[in-house]
Amino acid sequence: MRAQELGYAIRRRRIERSLTQAQLAAAAGLSRTTLNQFETGLLTDLGVKKLQAILDQLGLTLSIREAPRASRPDFIRMACTTASVSYKSALTEDELVRSLISGKVPPGKRPHLRALLDEATTSLLKGLVREMSRWTKPGRVKKNIARIARDVGASRRIDEWLTTV
């Protein structure tokens, strides 16, 4: 489980409980900004004590269990590999996830994202959008990919395949 997936699960539970970010943050001893950044996937390292305080307030627990064998493709890993083939430094999974959630291009990774958006198969890009969309508000990843494509000067018609996702 990625931190972004956990943050989104916390957000869903907070909303189910009709709590504001300010209320939950105060009860857990955090700032509202910290909670917001964790829920939206921009903060990926919250720390165990802070995470436990949030989970306690929401009536949730974190458990350790045997990891399932990968039965479906890891589109994030495949996208990073595709984006990094021609470059000395690799686009990391964390950089890609943060970029797709925030809509911002990581420093020094403009060529990687242009290569990904111009050269990856449509099925890889659609799978990446579907995988990432489970952890954030509907439409956010699509909107951010379109923004990134404009920012990096991707030549592929992004809006054409985005409408079919």
SS (H, E, C) the chain: CCHHHHHHHHHHHHHHCCCCHHHHHHHHCCCHHHHHHHHCCCCCCCCHHHHHHHHHHHCCCCCCCCCCCCCCCCHHHHHHHHHHCCCCCCCCHHHHHHHHHHCCCCCCCHHHHHHHHHHCCHHHHHHHHHHHHCCCCCCHHHHHHHHHHHHHCCCCCHHHHHCCC
Express each pLDDT in 61-87 by its tens digit: 988 888 777 677 889 999 999 999 989
State how far the Cα of 63 lies from the Cα of 128, in Å rounded to an integer: 27
Report CA Rg, the chain.
17
pLDDT above 70 coverage of the chain, percent: 95
> From the centroid of its chain, how far is CA 149?
17
Q: Which CATH class for the 3-58 domain?
A: mainly alpha
Express each pLDDT in 84-110 by its tens digit: 998 999 999 999 999 999 999 999 999
Q: Is the pLDDT of residue 23 over 90?
A: yes
Q: pTM for the complete prediction?
A: 0.71
Long-range pairs, 129-133, Cβ under 8 A, ≥24: 129/162, 129/165, 130/75, 130/165, 131/75, 131/76, 132/76, 132/97, 132/100, 132/101
Can you tell me the mean pLDDT for 137-161?
A: 86
Parse the chain into domains and list their residue ranges.
Answer: 3-58, 75-162
